[in-house]
Amino acid sequence: SQTIHQWPATLVQPVGSPLSLECTVEGTSNPNLYWYRQAAGRGLQLLFYSVGIGQISSEVPQNLSASRPQDRQFILSSKKLLLSDSGFYLCASGQGSIDNQPQHFGDGTRLSIL
């Protein structure tokens, strides 16, 4: 079965600092990978998804970027964090839409911007 490793679990960063959150997937190849954010009091929001190495789709304009340097590695970055970047970030993986395959989630990173 798929396992998603996401780190760090908790991160406190000052405004204006850079960010790099990493997500790696085990137990599968060529997964679809996703980054979500849940801001306080709001639902999950899809930020980026990737169907393959170097292929990134952005769902919303924002201060963040994503990269997929390897098949099972997905990185969320920012050059300069904003206060509004605070939230809970989740990495997820899936194998497309065959037979209602469920998505798998990492444990999440709680990011607090000071």
Partner 1 sequence: RKEVEQDPGPFNVPEGATVAFNCTYSNSASQSFFWYRQDCRKEPKLLMSVYSSGNEDGRFTAQLNRASQYISLLIRDSKLSDSATYLCVVENRDDKIIFGKGTRLHILP
Where do the H-state alpha helices sit in the chain? none
- Nearest distance in Å: CB 16, partner 1: 26
Give the C-alpha separation, 111 to 95, whole Å. 27
- Nearest distance in Å: CB 114, partner 1: 19
Residues that bind partner 1 (CB under 8 A): 32, 34, 36, 42-46, 49, 51, 57, 88, 90, 92, 94, 96-97, 100-103, 105-108, 110
Cβ distance to partner 1 smaller for residue 36 or 74? 36
Give the C-alpha separation, 41 to 62, whole Å. 19
